[in-house]
Amino acid sequence: MTILAKTCRKDDGAVAPFVFARQSELENLRSRLAERRSFLLHGPAGVGKTLLLSATLTEFPATMYSRQNSTPQMLFRNLAEALFAAGDPILKKMCPGGQVAMEKKTAVACKGLVRDALCDSKYVVVLDHLARPSQSLASAVRELKVNCSVPVVAVSRSDHMEDAGFVLPLFPERREKFPLANFDDATALQFAKLVAEREALNAHNLGQFLDKLIEYSGGNPGAIVQMIRMARSGKYMAEGQIKIAPLYIDYKMAALSR
């Protein structure tokens, strides 16, 4: 999981994420959710898309969040769980046995019940972690948008819009796309120093390591966090020096294997 933030405490005592250097993006996201319009949130893995969502969705209780959506069946079952958790009266009436009873229903029955609950409702559906979604999954997203008339926020692990796969044509207008980019070098360095301090990383060549880290990560906050945590391992430390090249090679090999 990408960590871009420390936590802070709200007035009601709840713990909420504090996002580093993303205030304009947070306001953009809040504005879009308040407008209840569909859009595509996209950016590379580790850039902080899920973190921004976690920092804002609690402000919008009518948002139905689905974390993993690799297939249409998973999508509708996740939405059913979210609807039950929200106490949706329509779904509770149609399936009085609750989530346990829903899990016993066929995929087709589950989809039908979820559609009935969502149609012409005040909900906004957020579909996170879409990685090159298939045509069948994109068809399910289209069904939610068009047939159920519910706004859909599709969240794609995409460096570029074309990597959003078959969901891209569902958001044809420029205003329907919300890109989240890696940090610029100066911001990335500030972030890396903050993370190194929080992780209590000490080394004689710490400054050199952080400079290389910005270069190797391309400003991706998730990559920065992961490599700093790797650097704390004795495997990459010798006589108070971080072994930068072996660490980076192992990081790239692990990234390629995922």
Q: Are 178 and 32 in contact (CB under 8 A)?
A: yes
What is the pLDDT at residue 128?
Answer: 95
Confidence of residue 157 (pLDDT cuts 50, 70, 90): confident
What is the pLDDT at residue 19?
Answer: 87
* The token pair that represents 57 in the structure block: 């969705």
Q: What is the pTM assigned to this prediction?
A: 0.89
Q: Which range has the worst mean pLDDT, 15-24, 88-97, 109-118, 163-172?
A: 15-24
What is the pLDDT at residue 118?
Answer: 97
Answer whether residue 91 shows pLDDT above 70.
yes
Q: Percentage of the chain with pLDDT > 90? A: 84
149: left (phi over 0), alpha (psi -120 to 50) or beta: left
Confidence of residue 17 (pLDDT cuts 50, 70, 90): low
Q: For residue range 40-77, what is the model confidence (pLDDT) as tens digits?
A: 999 999 999 999 999 999 999 999 999 989 999 999 99
Confidence of residue 39 (pLDDT cuts 50, 70, 90): very high
Q: For residue range 167-224, what is the model confidence (pLDDT) as tens digits?
A: 999 999 999 999 999 999 999 999 999 999 999 999 999 999 999 999 999 999 999 9
Confidence of residue 89 (pLDDT cuts 50, 70, 90): very high
What is the pLDDT at residue 255?
Answer: 86
What is the pLDDT at residue 131?
Answer: 79
C-alpha distances (whole Å) from 110 to each of 8, 82, 102, 120, 235 are 38, 13, 7, 18, 49
The letter for the amino acid at 45 is: A
What is the pLDDT at residue 257?
Answer: 80
7: left (phi over 0), alpha (psi -120 to 50) or beta: beta
Confidence of residue 238 (pLDDT cuts 50, 70, 90): very high
d(CA 47, CA 53): 12
